[in-house]
Structure 1
């Protein structure tokens, strides 16, 4: 052992060397010679150094290295001959491990140096977590830690809470929570009177204990502990320990993010204390900001609780946030800069934090409580002499627009009139803020703002584009126009095009490159909005853009060239192929040349090139196919980008893994997982471009299908970037479609994809991804029809769908429980409904998938659908709208695609379907009425009793007092159509049929549901042409109904039926006296007579 310890000591010294080669050699020896071949000696030796070496840094390093080596994965042979990985802690002999663990606890009880103790505690914590994960006992640990809690030395007490904070499960043996035992442990630390560091560490430990215990539903029972934790804050403030106070706030933020309800009993006190911190300009910015972040995190996670328990929150916090937003100094560099990229160091400034806070308060607490407070103060700020006040007010309006949309949209004109005059403010920073505000409002209140206020907004922004002395104002005015034009109607933009185009051309010749870039970007958006109205400006623009693309590939011009690509291709899409054709070849050659010039992976032109090629593909269609060999290689390379990943110890420097360089970090089991995500957006775009080519080129893309599918399928599980997963799933159907004429090639590829999809869908937590998966399944089944699923795959699909439906049902029930929460309020209902609406997308798509299976396989799909019937029965009898609609859609589709086989399911649907015709939900009544009508047509005699029972309910639907209101009219029209189908199917006895026919005639017309309008109008015309007494008894009404159908243009897509209706109404009129004809005509509203004449009917 002595020789080993000596050698390890030498290695430790070498590992601390600044010589990279020496350090690398030592790491190699430690890994290959010790860890892989002699792990027992390695770990025992390090423990010996930790316990016995007099050199303090060496003992500290030994603790760090023991942790790393003990937990580092090591390749070992598996039973099947392959290699697996385990850690050295579980490779060494049991006696060695027990000896090491005992020595660690010995060091915990004896180590006198604080810095070494911290490394030792980190080591013990990580080893303990590894043992817990493997269910390996370390029974001596908890008593040893609790002994430290009771120790006389404060550094020992601090060590104990450091370990408890890292391994809170130590206080919950066998996952049993006993606050009688645990409470006094924390009480001793939180009430520490000697050393504040102990209180801070105890607070941190209490936070992670509460997170681990997950006591959200029993918040009241933890109120005593919460009070003790919060009492640490005034003590730190009183001692002037701002660093400790910030650390305490950071811990409480973590608790608020995970267990916000724990703050319920103490929320008013927290608010009052926080106000004394946030508004105290004498304190450090980091202290104030972390305190504000605690409040905002509680707001984010429990807005209803905040609204209920602290109704004065907005009136107290919003003024402070607005004041923070005004803490802005004028900087000469702001005016003279040649680059307007946001500076990273500005993110921690008061004005940025205040603006972000306003946004979060508005979105979470809602418009009803935010708007009155904000707009009591904002007008005063706009009238202030200090430009900073006016600037802050405008930025505040910009920040709260999205969250306060419902309230502000009612007074949008007032807000626009409040903001737009400041585009002429004396101070350029205020004019810049006004442009920012208008641009954000153009996004938040689209398209209403564009439609109603273009006369106010466009001239105001164009005036800013004339501000030659302030190019940043010019650029921001042009940037705001981008937001505005993204949602503007072509006709509303047309009057400004000439003046706007002239200004953009002027800006494009500015010496400021950022202004040129913005002018070109805005021009692209204007062209996209103007569509063919931009044709007249095309000859002046396209040659200039080609000229930019011919400039040298210097670094400072890369972004400008990228913007030129974007602009030119958007213009090409706007003016279409015939206009662009003359420049197409030149442009394609320019792009090909630039693609060859780009060698730097960080070159912004890479992304612009990808999108430019794709837009050209949409314009040129089949003419683009010859360019695929140029486009596809770099695109496929980008689609296969792998993230750079690094796993760092908590003590490792992370200067090479900064956010500025595109790295994101997360703590996992005591280590920092660093992922460079900056290139993953490019990967996502590449996959989206592949989808674009496949969709637009069809079989022209066929040769790339196998290679592309090999890339797409693994990316379904690319959890580093959700966008990549979504794009990969959306791309699969169009890529397969490109080779659908070769099923022998497509089916094996689809089989591999299906297996992957079937595994991921039941566990999918991302609602958008789940939607994309189900939509993709539907699209592929539609594409491949009966070849899409073999028997095994079909069975797997039903099992997966069953799991998804059951999980969805559980979430519906969870939302119902949320509505019973003590803090529930109407604003929270809106959030719940938003969540439900997202999940409903998936359920609606599942209904379409079931429909597609029945449509393609018919009665052969019934064994599959039977596997879902347990869920369908449950859903059918629920109160939740989306659950009922899914069940009813299955009934509708069974009726439509399996005909008489529907009889088998009458015991499931029959009585409940009739009941649902009286549902208070219009969407349910509509779907049920449609299904009843289809059942009458296709279901055969076995469903006639259902139809007979439904007739009185259908009549009641049509007769209801508000049946033709906007919310109800479509359901009502489906009821009328159902009556038509039942009557046409000869289901009713003679007397009941005559009554129903008379009622049907008086229920016409059907004009809003075009599909049902065809059914009902056709049946009415049958009655007219048969001179049925029901028509004769309601002759004038019949004429009025047919005239309404013609006036509304409901039958425009069925010219034959429309002409038949016109002929029949003319016949009916011709059979009347002239004075009666004239009276009917004159009784029509003037606009209806005018439209009927314009359409050539009369």
Structure 2
């Protein structure tokens, strides 16, 4: 038996390891004695230089007096390189190792009254640099403890209260501003005493200190409004006093601070602060008297523009004075553009309702200013022209502001602009030697056409004389602007313009179309011709039809995509307006259009999608204009082309898909039953578009989703419309696709988009009718004398009946659910109408319990109508009367189908009518009840007798 271990020997073993065999030697005798064994890192040599810096730092920061730190600061200002280098090393060491103590020590140096001014000045700069960019995560401010931050805040305010040296105040003020901004943005608490300190300095101490205080209030963040409220009354008086200062810079600061104060405070303070408004305006004018101070005026105007954006109501009590001052500034050509432009911009920021209240004389002066602004354009080459709108690109901001503001004024105050006065001014401009003024005059006519349409109709001859003269102007820009104006006038003054001046305008625009040297101007002319023809009668177009069509077809072959698109759009417009007369041009036009579409698919370009869109619209327009008899010979080829275009489209080409869907809808109208052969090829694309929807994983947050959703919903809506039209038109012939169509449309009766919801609701009875007629057709075939139905045919017939039963059980509950959820009155009326039709078509498949549910739901709609669910009007609206008619219509159908079995449900309706005639009922309830009883008496005579 082994003896127990001797504890004493065991303790000695490690000591005698060199005598005893080592365990490692036994286990790994070949183990190298060496370099692979981990060794302890050698201790780094002591850094005596750092130790010396630490000792010096402790002496400086731990000393109860300021001699050591002042000595260091003095060395930092030394011009000797050796002394400066040593001092910088020590100072940088202090920043790295002791930022808390260093910042506090420097602040105490600034507070020490015996410190020399030079040292104090350097200390202020050091403290500013030390706490520079406090919002940055690497800033010293963020490494300072909260307790030291509190001490520094107190020290800053004490320095600013008692110090009157600009070399000290300026860096400390900048530091305080940066720290305050950091405290607010980073939510680092409050700063007690800050407002009272700056308010005291606002009216005490040297003038530059007061300026610093003004700058503090000028740059105060908006979030401190609550803390500022106790000082508003006093600040108002102080700012008002400083607005009368002789010092230009101080007046600028006071104006800017006043504007900022108004922007900070709520409308509750407008009455108090309103006394600042006119002194601000007068102060602005005082700067403009002196040429050297115009720059100050420019700055103040910028501030006023910002204030109008934020608080426009502040100016409403002195609206005329403010506008008059701004117009005076804007019309003075001695001032620079940087001063005049913001004066007009400030007025343009006010909304239209405010502009309406400005005095007429001031608006007349403003109109003249805007005319002059529109004239400030440069002579650009024709290549730099916006050929869609007829406006020069690259023009000054004055021109753009002038055009947009003049349009707004004409819309807001069109009846206040006296056309006779304007007609005196515009001919002078039209005859001016400078093309810019002629351009401005004809542009203005187009700009104000919508707002001043009534006045223009009264003076149409004078207006058109100027426009026609401008179309023949020597300047290409003026001619272009005149064509753009014709487009605007065609929109706003139709049909008077076309009836009185159509022949002259068509001739003038054709001359522009024929000018092949300027394709951009041709595009503008084509666009103007498009709008002009929309309001033309066929008799006006007849003399020019062949010439215009030939020219437009030539332009369709142009190498300029925009010109091609405009030519196609205009061709469609000419076809619509010329009506039956267009038949003589049909063969030529359809040949060109088919070739154009075919070539565009073979040789696609960047602009081909846009051109295909225009070409497709042009084709279906031409087809619907000439009618089925003329178009049917080309229908097969055209449909093949349209299906080919659809085949090559990408998934996101929604815009062109919408145009194709519109084309199919219009061609269905045109061809009627002749459209059916194309349904089979068309249906897959239709179903695909109708299924469009959104899944969360498909949504790209970087895309403008609202715009994309709109175009997708438009495609879905158009596809649902075409499916509805096909089901309505071809009835039982659509039965092969009835499953797919119903799977798409039935869930859409509760879709979020109202238009799609309404189409889906309208389609429900059409689906049932399609199924029912298909069954009847098969039943009729099987019952023919020569037809002996097999067992499989009988089974198929029974299955079909079973299918109709299932379809009814899907459609009716969906409509009931939609009726319960619907908030739109028109759609509710449509649901009631569809339910009535569904009951009429397939009511036999519904159980008595289901009919009772429908009746109860319909009575609930009637109750909701009487409780003003669809209208707040006291009297019944047309929509509510329509709902009543549809409710009673449903019950009349119920009585016809179920006869005595329906009395239970009808009695509930009659009971409700009776209750609503009681004394407790509201006026609206009584009115709805009487209207319902009247409708019942007309449509349900048996029920009326029971009543």
TM-score, normalization by structure 2: 0.63
Aligned to 2:378: 329
Q: 1:569 aligns with which of 620, 637, 660?
A: 620
Distance of 1:489 and 1:150 partners within structure 2: 79
Shift of 1:682: 2.0
Q: 1:374-523 alignment to 2 at 5 Å? A: 374-523=422-571
Alpha-carbon distance change, 246 to 634 in structure 1, aligned in 2, over 3 angstroms: farther
1:59 pairs with 2:114 = no
Q: 1:278 aligns with which of 330, 341, 358?
A: 330
Distance of 2:767 and 2:538 partners within structure 1: 38
Aligned to 2:722: 693
Distance of 2:194 and 2:545 partners within structure 1: 78
Distance of 1:251 and 1:777 partners within structure 2: 48
Distance of 1:284 and 1:608 partners within structure 2: 51
Aligned to 1:897: 935
Secondary structure at the counterpart of residue 354 of structure 1: helix
Alpha-carbon distance change, 588 to 121 in structure 1, aligned in 2, over 3 angstroms: farther
Q: 1:250 aligns with which of 284, 299, 305?
A: 305
Aligned residues: 709
Aligned to 2:9: none
Q: 1:582 aligns with which of 621, 630, 633?
A: 633
Conserved 8 A contact 1:573-1:619:
yes
Q: 2:679 aligns with which of 615, 625, 639?
A: 625
Alpha-carbon distance change, 123 to 327 in structure 1, aligned in 2, over 3 angstroms: farther
Alpha-carbon distance change, 266 to 507 in structure 1, aligned in 2, over 3 angstroms: same
Q: 1:619-698 alignment to 2 at 5 Å? A: 619-620=670-671, 623=676, 625-626=679-680, 627-634=682-689, 636-637=691-692, 675=704, 677-698=706-727
Distance of 1:473 and 1:369 partners within structure 2: 31
1:744 pairs with 2:809 = yes
Conserved 8 A contact 1:851-1:890:
no
Secondary structure at the counterpart of residue 442 of structure 2: helix
Aligned to 1:362: 410
Distance of 2:156 and 2:664 partners within structure 1: 64
Secondary structure at the counterpart of residue 302 of structure 1: helix
Conserved 8 A contact 1:253-1:294:
yes
Secondary structure at the counterpart of residue 312 of structure 1: helix
Conserved 8 A contact 1:422-1:434:
yes
Shift of 1:479: 0.9
Aligned to 1:165: 222
Shift of 1:582: 3.3
Aligned to 1:1087: none
Distance of 1:739 and 1:290 partners within structure 2: 63
Q: 2:397 aligns with which of 343, 346, 349?
A: 349
Conserved 8 A contact 1:318-1:374:
no
Shift of 1:282: 6.4
When Rg is computed on C-alpha atoms for both structures, the one with the higher figure is: 2
1:266 pairs with 2:318 = yes
Shift of 1:574: 1.9
Secondary structure at the counterpart of residue 240 of structure 1: helix
Alpha-carbon distance change, 53 to 188 in structure 1, aligned in 2, over 3 angstroms: closer
Secondary structure at the counterpart of residue 330 of structure 1: coil
Shift of 1:688: 3.9
Aligned to 2:831: 780
Conserved 8 A contact 1:242-1:284:
no
Shift of 1:394: 1.5
Distance of 1:846 and 1:108 partners within structure 2: 72
Alpha-carbon distance change, 171 to 560 in structure 1, aligned in 2, over 3 angstroms: same
Shift of 1:728: 4.5
TM-score, normalization by structure 1: 0.55
Alpha-carbon distance change, 271 to 126 in structure 1, aligned in 2, over 3 angstroms: farther
Shift of 1:124: 3.0
Shift of 1:440: 1.1
Distance of 2:873 and 2:395 partners within structure 1: 40
Shift of 1:472: 2.7
Aligned to 1:845: 879
Alpha-carbon distance change, 417 to 158 in structure 1, aligned in 2, over 3 angstroms: same
Q: 2:274 aligns with which of 223, 239, 244?
A: 223
Aligned to 1:314: 363
Q: 1:605-1004 alignment to 2 at 5 Å? A: 605=656, 608-609=659-660, 611-620=662-671, 623=676, 625-626=679-680, 627-634=682-689, 636-637=691-692, 675=704, 677-698=706-727, 700=734, 703-704=740-741, 706-707=743-744, 715-716=752-753, 727-728=755-756, 731-734=759-762, 736=764, 738-739=766-767, 742-750=807-815, 753=818, 757-758=822-823, 773-785=824-836, 791=856, 795=860, 802=867, 844-853=878-887, 856=890, 860=909, 863=912, 893-894=931-932, 896-899=934-937
Unaligned runs of 5+ in 2: 1-99, 105-126, 161-170, 203-208, 244-248, 729-733, 770-806, 840-850, 893-905
Secondary structure at the counterpart of residue 604 of structure 2: coil
Conserved 8 A contact 2:390-2:481:
no
Conserved 8 A contact 1:114-1:155:
no
Alpha-carbon distance change, 564 to 381 in structure 1, aligned in 2, over 3 angstroms: same
Conserved 8 A contact 1:125-1:166:
no
1:540 pairs with 2:600 = no
Conserved 8 A contact 1:150-1:157:
no
Conserved 8 A contact 2:218-2:253:
no
Alpha-carbon distance change, 143 to 520 in structure 1, aligned in 2, over 3 angstroms: farther
Secondary structure at the counterpart of residue 59 of structure 1: coil
Alpha-carbon distance change, 498 to 339 in structure 1, aligned in 2, over 3 angstroms: closer
Secondary structure at the counterpart of residue 295 of structure 2: coil
Distance of 1:410 and 1:338 partners within structure 2: 31
CA RMSD of aligned residues (A): 5.2
After alignment, is 392-401 or 193-202 more displaced? 193-202
Conserved 8 A contact 2:375-2:437:
yes
Alpha-carbon distance change, 235 to 460 in structure 1, aligned in 2, over 3 angstroms: same
Shift of 1:690: 3.2
After alignment, is 196-205 or 431-440 more displaced? 196-205
Distance of 2:485 and 2:422 partners within structure 1: 15
Distance of 2:294 and 2:546 partners within structure 1: 66
Alpha-carbon distance change, 450 to 757 in structure 1, aligned in 2, over 3 angstroms: farther
Distance of 1:249 and 1:574 partners within structure 2: 57
1:175-202 Cα deviation digits (max 9, x unpaired): xxxxx97444455457577484674365
Conserved 8 A contact 1:439-1:479:
yes
Aligned to 1:203: 259
Alpha-carbon distance change, 249 to 223 in structure 1, aligned in 2, over 3 angstroms: closer
Distance of 1:738 and 1:515 partners within structure 2: 44
Aligned to 1:992: none
Shift of 1:312: 0.6
Conserved 8 A contact 1:252-1:294:
no
Conserved 8 A contact 1:618-1:696:
no
Shift of 1:423: 2.3
Conserved 8 A contact 1:242-1:287:
yes
Aligned to 1:124: 184
Conserved 8 A contact 2:214-2:253:
no
Alpha-carbon distance change, 895 to 207 in structure 1, aligned in 2, over 3 angstroms: farther
Alpha-carbon distance change, 789 to 275 in structure 1, aligned in 2, over 3 angstroms: farther
